[in-house]
Each structure stands twice: as C-alpha cells, then as structure tokens.
Chain A
C-alpha cells in the first residue's frame, strides 16, 4: 500500500511540470503559431533528422552489438564502455568532440572538405550525425542485451545445415531479436528527437537547415515564449503518440 502511494507521488511529480506547461499554452493562438515558417521548418526538420538518425544509429549499432555479444574479457569491456560514452557524456561535450573530428578545422572534417567539398556542420547531414552519435549507445545496449539471451544452439543448427555466418545472422539471429530491434530504433529516434546540446554545438543553429524543434524552442524562449510553448506541445504530443503506440514493445520480448 505504502509503495503504491510513493509510486503515485512520483508519477504526479513527473506529470506536474508537463501539466503546468500545458496550462500556459496559448491555445487560441495555437493554429496561427503552428503555421509560422520558423515553427513549420523546425517541425519538419526534426521529424526528418530524427528518423534518419534512428536509421543510421540502427544500421551502425547492429554490427557493434553483434560483435560485443560475442566478445568477453577486458577488450569487450573497453569497447562497450567506449560505445556507451555518448550516453553518459554531456551532449555539449559530445558536440564539441564531433566538432574537433568532423568540424571544418577538425582532424577528419578538414580532409573531407578538401576531398569532397562536403561540410558537415550547418547542414542536415551534421544534424543527423550529431543525433545518431548520441543515439547509438541506446541501440547497442538494447540489442546486445537481447542477443546475449539467445540460445546459441539456433546458430549452431543453422551453421550445421550449411548457412554461412552472414546468412545465419540475417536469417536466424536478427529475426529472433526483432522486437528489440524495433525497440532500439524507437529509443534511438526518441533520443534524437529531443537532442539539443550536441546538435547546437556541432551542427549550429541555422533556421530551416539545422534548427530542430528543441533548438527553436530554446531560441523562442527568449523572444516569443508563446511560440516556444506551442512547439513544446508538438514535441510532447508526438512523443506521447509514439510511446503509446509502442506500449510494451519498449521491452525486448520476454
């Protein structure tokens, strides 16, 4: 009984700020604010970049998860710690690190610009890179965890029937962790949608190009608080809809 009371208090504690925010929203100005170019630009950019970042993080995360799930020992621990780093680091530090690597004067970025003329900061590609960077640990963590619970006999059976390692992985192993692949994709997407620090530090804040919803909210807080609130509502609604449709899929199948 007492646990239930504490739990309800905690739920109320999380709900209170959200409800207080909704309380302040200028609902009568909602439709006019939602059609402002800055707002529509930020919404579409956020949706595009977060989905792309989730796809990138998932694509890059699966091989790492497969590798880690088969590794033991110190080297595995070090690799895993490195892969988890962007989750623990303050995003602004991650953004700065990306800048030192892929910025215009970065170790790789300068060479990239020289060879291909491609500049990652101030572009959609930069936003996707920053978002995928912070989302990657969630993918690796989720998928490795469920790979480790698999019975190795399935793989052995596939191998004994003549399937090579690539085939076994694609046709046998990955389908068995399908629900955690989906969960990982959505976790990565959710992390990318709310990403602020790494994005503004690495990709900058160019309206219509790299100004995602969180960045637009940050800017609007000082100029047009009502617009900031309206964009916050969009973020809350999109997140809630996805969380509700996902429901139990957040957890790898039991």
Chain B
C-alpha cells in the first residue's frame, strides 16, 4: 500500500499548498493496535476487512470507503522461472516458501489458498509484510512467495508469477476511514476516489473497488 501514499500525497498538496501530512506506515494490524492504544489519526488506510472491522468496533471513525482491491499471486525467483510453473511444482519438498504473517491479509489469503489446493506451508517463513516476502523472492533467499498482483507486476523483471486457477478470487480490499468530516479530510477522500487515481492504481496492478 505504500504505492498509494506516493500517488496520493502530491495530489493532496496540490490542493492544499503548505499542508503538512504526517504519515505512519505499518501493517494494518499494527496500525489498528496503535489507534486502539491511543494514536491520533485523521485518516486511516487499511488492508483487509477484519482490521477495518476491529477499528470500527473500537473507535469513533466514520464508515469506511473501499478504495481498491488486490489479488493473491504466487511468484517464483527468476532462476526457477523455467522449472516451477504450476502450483503442484511448489509441492517439491526442497523448495523454500515465504508468506506474510497470519495477522496480515496477504498471510490470511495465502493460508486459505494453500488449504484449498492442499499445499503445505508449514516450512514457509512468515514475513512481517508483503514487501518483505517479495524482496526475499527477488533476492533468491526463498524459492517462492505469496504476494499481491501489484507486487508481482512491480517486480516483473525479477520474479515470475505462477498461473493457477482460482488464485485471483482470493482478494484483499483496501479501505479508508476518516476520523472527522472536516474539509481537508473530505477532500482527501475525494482525491483518493477520483477516477484519475483509480486509473493509476489499476496500472499498478490493483483491481477496481
């Protein structure tokens, strides 16, 4: 989701020159923990419905607005691009995998998918976030990793995505919640949901909301 911020911030500061935006980037679960423990935020952008539900249950945020979705993808490191092309190739016991931690939506999706196709992930390393999974695959420290479609696209030169039936039905939604409906917050929401931003997100591999 870090890509979001890079796209959105210039748009927002165009509208409000001199606007100071403080950004706290962390996994969605961590962010919700921080807010529940008293961290102050005007806008929260989260992945996964569970974390947003937890935020809504515990705090006075306005109802969330969906921004985009992302689908699960398996990527293999470039040196295995020829030999590992299907999900059943991943069952080779010698291969080392990586997935997100169970608390991250990418981890939940990977575990759900693995259960559906009977893939054993018990030896896979649980990385703190999806970018950590991607970087392990890119550097060849693991043989395969479960990431998002947008990540696979971003690193298309360094990793290869595996085609698998039904994989793209495992999706995470990103949503945004405002603390208040003040002018700047509402404007932020407008920026995020405008079609120009949606187009850029789709080019980056995200799915429409």
Which A positions have Cβ atoms within 8 angstroms of B?
Answer: 99, 103-105, 119, 121-122, 200, 204-211, 218-219, 221-223, 225
Contact = CB atoms under 8 A, between A and B. Distances in A.
B85 interface: no
A223 B103 contact: yes
Contacts of B122: 207-208
Main secondary structure of the interface of A (DSSP, over half): loop
Please indicate which of the listed interface residues B103, B104, B124, B125 has the most CB atoms of chain A within 10 Å of its own CB: B125
Interface residues of B, number: 22
19 contacts: A99-B139, A103-B141, A105-B140, A119-B96, A121-B141, A200-B128, A204-B127, A204-B136, A206-B124, A207-B126, A218-B128, A219-B103, A221-B29, A222-B30, A222-B101, A222-B102, A222-B103, A222-B104, A223-B101
A122 B125 contact: yes
Main secondary structure of the interface of B (DSSP, over half): loop
Interface in B60-101: 96, 98, 101
A119 B125 CA distance: 14
A210 B141 contact: no
B30 A211 contact: no
B59 to A, nearest CB: 16
A219 B129 CA distance: 11
Nearest to A221: B33
B123 interface: yes
Contacts of A103: 139, 141
B93 to A, nearest CB: 13
A218 B142 CA distance: 21
Interface string B131-145: 000001001111000
B27 interface: yes
